[in-house]
Structure 1
Amino acid sequence: MTQIEVDVLVIGAGPAGSMAARESSKNGAETLIIDKKAEIGTPKRCAEGIMSGVLERMDIHVDKRCIARDIDGARIVSPDNTSAWFTSETLETPATGIVLERKVFDKHLTMDAIREGAKVMLRCEATSMKKVDDGFIVDVKSQLDEVDRIKAKIVIAADGPEGRVASWGGLDTKVSLAEMESGAQYEMTNLKMENSRVIQFYFGNIAPGGYAWIFPKGHDIANVGIDISNVKTDKTALECLDEFVASCDETKNAQAVELNVGGNPYCGVFDKIISDNLLLVGDAAGCVSPITGGGIDTALESGMIAGRVAARCVKENDCSQSNLSEYSDYIEEHIAKKFRKYISIRDFLYNLEDDDLNEYITALANADISTLSTKSLIKALLKVSPRKLLKLRKLL
């Protein structure tokens, strides 16, 4: 039995895990990342889009290989095919963003962590975890290194929405079926997009309890996906996606070059994301938008703060839950509070009938909206149907 010891063990080399490793290493903690995959960044279960400014706020500097497409706004499409466009031509404050190339971007983040001193072990899967007085002992199955066991003062769980580390550490991250979306996504080529610089969202019965999307990665290349609620349809996400692709003018002649499927938690941040010697980050912590299912920005942010807090606690030789609470307090203030409001919007939006969606999206198409935000969209809708939208008024 070969055992190694580190200050901080990060399980999972996605954006949250690599950011956590970068920050903990930068702040003096001996840090190891393990990932069960042979290649970081694959498979990509993600539409890959983020808003402008996110990378800069996280002090992430990438080269052009990490960015597939610059984005200028969004298009929202109703069941009757009415479109509400929000671009630099219609908005006073542009709503710009980028679509990443995650297979390159994720490696870039891990390389940043390595440059700060972190170590990485690929093809290394955590199989169980046991609490000891001064941390955790994690049993691993490593195919490239002669390591069977890792002892860490702090474990950072970055193993995604279907991870096991939280439960091993005694934290409840179970998600009800009603709050777990099923997703499927193709990367496709030969699309005929009306505007290949906007991200698109399609609502209605085509995506029961969710929505479909087109995120451009080139003039005729895009991520085309769908999230659905399994309590609202007997169809699989892939069946719904195939129906959408066949019915949408922009995708009906396109061909897929990649397919990814998986679950996505829409419940918001979990009630408890820390315990003695343990932190949850990214999707493992529920840092996923309850409206869109997007989580790259919150994964990066949660990882950044977790890494800094972990390094401080190691330095102080106090990795207790109370000392780690700086992290959970930050997440509560900057992410969890906002997501609880989003849950009300999600419940309202994804329970609308197609006729209501047609009415509301037509209203958005005709509204004078200068800034694209949740608040501005709700304000525009209130003018159309204040009584129906009474619950959402409280969120302004």
Structure 2
Amino acid sequence: MSDVKEVDVLIIGAGPAGSMAAREASRNGARTLIIDKKSEIGTPKRCGEGIMDGVLESVGITADERWIARHIDGARLVAPDGTSAWFTSETLETPATGIILERKVFDKHVTMDAIRSGAEVMIKTEATGITREGDYLLVDIRSFNNEYSQIKARIVIGADGPEGRVSSWMGINTKVPLAEMESGAQYEMTNLKMEKSDTIEFYFGSVAPGGYAWIFPKGYDTANVGIDVSGVKGDKTALEYLDDFVKNNPETCDGQIVEVNVGGNPLCGVFDTLIADNFMLVGDAAGCVSPITGGGIDTGLESGMIAGRVAARAIRENDVSVDNLREYADYVDEHIGKKFRKLITVRDFIYNLDDDDMNEYLGAIARANITKLSTRSLLKAMIKVSPRKLLKLRKLL
């Protein structure tokens, strides 16, 4: 086993947030290394793979048809009684368009962008602990080729996802209360009979207690079909709720499963502490996950981009203290955390509705003349049903 490998910036986790951090750190002059414990970047996928148009452009990624599974035109919201609110180019003045990614290809693309910018990558390499040595962090690793036993870095960026351990090694509390942790399960399915195979679908109510079910098309008869359920509501597992949903939904009941994914999803918003001396958290590991949808690709990319730039600047200035990294934490709080705190209020209201109330509110949304799909426009339609009951949400408009 050779000597310790030394770098400026070490990123633990090669998901979109980690690879984006690596791209920006290396572009800005830092010697950067990404490690990932998996043998293949991008697997297993842990999300519905959907993002809105404009997200990639905002972080300097040019869309490539090789990793776009489906172009999406709007959304469908479905109440427990089957009432549907459609938001497509036929109903909206401002289109709500997006894409469904093929994460197995997309994640590799972002990592390859980092490599082309100068970063190194070590796959099938697991971080097992961190110790401090002066103004450096020493990360113990276990690698398939046993080339190194430790990596010495001025800055470590934790990008190891919602169930990561790196934050705890640095004394940062990222434990999520059970009430704010969703259990998720998803099938990639084919032979589906979707009413519109270019529209994402969300199903609410007792079909998914404290959460929602979804159908995200990846082709004319293929889609990600999944569910998120509250950790403290319901009496079945996420997989059991998903099986019931698949069996009872006319679009999915004849489908066949080709892939299974399960895992936890934190809906608590951005964690209170994201930085320490020599250290930053990004993406899901930082809580950059929407408290309503559980989506985090967009905010993961954004947080990684800023973290990489701040890390490179700190290296140039030879100051990797927590005070000099605060620019990153302040950015995340202002651009992601503040928005998520408002969404938590909406989440707590929506996911506590019973089926009758959900039918009433989604019925109002379906009848409203909504020409721009946004949280604000949906809230305005709901408030007309019961202004007094939704008094708290009026403050968000």
Alignment of 1:2-81 (within 5 A): 2-81=3-82
Equivalent in the alignment of 1:98? 99
Contact 2:69 2:101 in 1 (8 A): yes
Equivalent in the alignment of 1:132? 133
Q: Any idea what the Cα deviations from partners look like across 1:154-202, whole Å, max 9, x if unmatched?
A: 0000000000000101111011110110000000001100001110000
2:330 is equivalent to residue 329 of structure 1: yes
Q: What is the SS of the residue equivalent to 1:294? A: coil
Report how many residues are paired: 396
Q: What is the SS of the residue equivalent to 1:131? A: strand
The letter of the residue matching 1:335 is I
Equivalent in the alignment of 1:299? 300
The letter of the residue matching 1:100 is L
Equivalent-residue separation in structure 1 for 2:231 and 2:269 (angstroms): 18
Equivalent-residue separation in structure 2 for 1:62 and 1:50 (angstroms): 12
Q: Any idea what the Cα deviations from partners look like across 1:132-170, whole Å, max 9, x if unmatched?
A: 221210000011241100000000000000000001011
Equivalent-residue separation in structure 1 for 2:318 and 2:97 (angstroms): 43
Contact 1:7 1:29 in 2 (8 A): yes
Equivalent-residue separation in structure 1 for 2:78 and 2:93 (angstroms): 21
Q: Any idea what the Cα deviations from partners look like across 1:63-96, whole Å, max 9, x if unmatched?
A: 2111000000000000000000000110110000
Q: What is the SS of the residue equivalent to 2:194? A: coil
Equivalent in the alignment of 1:244? 245
Equivalent-residue separation in structure 1 for 2:200 and 2:146 (angstroms): 42
Equivalent-residue separation in structure 1 for 2:224 and 2:83 (angstroms): 22
Contact 1:131 1:169 in 2 (8 A): no
Q: What is the SS of the residue equivalent to 1:322? A: coil
Q: What is the SS of the residue equivalent to 1:342? A: helix
The letter of the residue matching 1:372 is L
Equivalent in the alignment of 2:350? 349
Contact 1:155 1:277 in 2 (8 A): yes
Q: What is the SS of the residue equivalent to 1:231? A: coil
Equivalent-residue separation in structure 1 for 2:209 and 2:381 (angstroms): 24
Alignment of 1:90-169 (within 5 A): 90-169=91-170
2:228 is equivalent to residue 191 of structure 1: no
Equivalent in the alignment of 2:207? 206
Equivalent in the alignment of 1:182? 183
CA deviation after TM superposition for structure 1 residue 131, in Å: 1.8
Give RMSD over aligned pairs: 0.7
Give the alignment's TM-score, normalised by structure 1.
Answer: 0.99
Equivalent-residue separation in structure 2 for 1:320 and 1:58 (angstroms): 26
Q: Any idea what the Cα deviations from partners look like across 1:198-241, whole Å, max 9, x if unmatched?
A: 10000010101100000000000000000001210221100000
Structure 1: which 4+ aligned runs deviate by more than 6 Å?
A: none
The letter of the residue matching 1:226 is I
Equivalent in the alignment of 1:363? 364
Equivalent in the alignment of 1:253? 254
Equivalent-residue separation in structure 2 for 1:219 and 1:51 (angstroms): 20
CA deviation after TM superposition for structure 1 residue 29, in Å: 0.0
Q: Any idea what the Cα deviations from partners look like across 1:257-287, whole Å, max 9, x if unmatched?
A: 0000000000000000001000000000000
Equivalent-residue separation in structure 2 for 1:336 and 1:37 (angstroms): 29
Contact 2:180 2:231 in 1 (8 A): no
Equivalent-residue separation in structure 1 for 2:60 and 2:292 (angstroms): 26
The letter of the residue matching 1:85 is W
The letter of the residue matching 1:379 is K
Contact 1:62 1:108 in 2 (8 A): no
Equivalent-residue separation in structure 2 for 1:364 and 1:188 (angstroms): 29
Q: Any idea what the Cα deviations from partners look like across 1:295-314, whole Å, max 9, x if unmatched?
A: 00000000000000000000
- In structure 1, runs of 5+ residues without a counterpart are none
Equivalent-residue separation in structure 2 for 1:238 and 1:201 (angstroms): 17
The letter of the residue matching 1:304 is M
The letter of the residue matching 1:132 is E
Q: What is the SS of the residue equivalent to 1:323? A: coil
Equivalent-residue separation in structure 1 for 2:357 and 2:339 (angstroms): 25
Contact 1:287 1:298 in 2 (8 A): yes
The letter of the residue matching 1:10 is I
Give the alignment's TM-score, normalised by structure 2.
Answer: 0.99
Contact 1:344 1:392 in 2 (8 A): yes
Equivalent-residue separation in structure 1 for 2:55 and 2:372 (angstroms): 18
CA deviation after TM superposition for structure 1 residue 370, in Å: 1.0
CA deviation after TM superposition for structure 1 residue 336, in Å: 0.1
* Percent of paired sites with the same residue: 72
- In structure 2, runs of 5+ residues without a counterpart are none
The letter of the residue matching 1:310 is A
Equivalent-residue separation in structure 1 for 2:132 and 2:91 (angstroms): 56
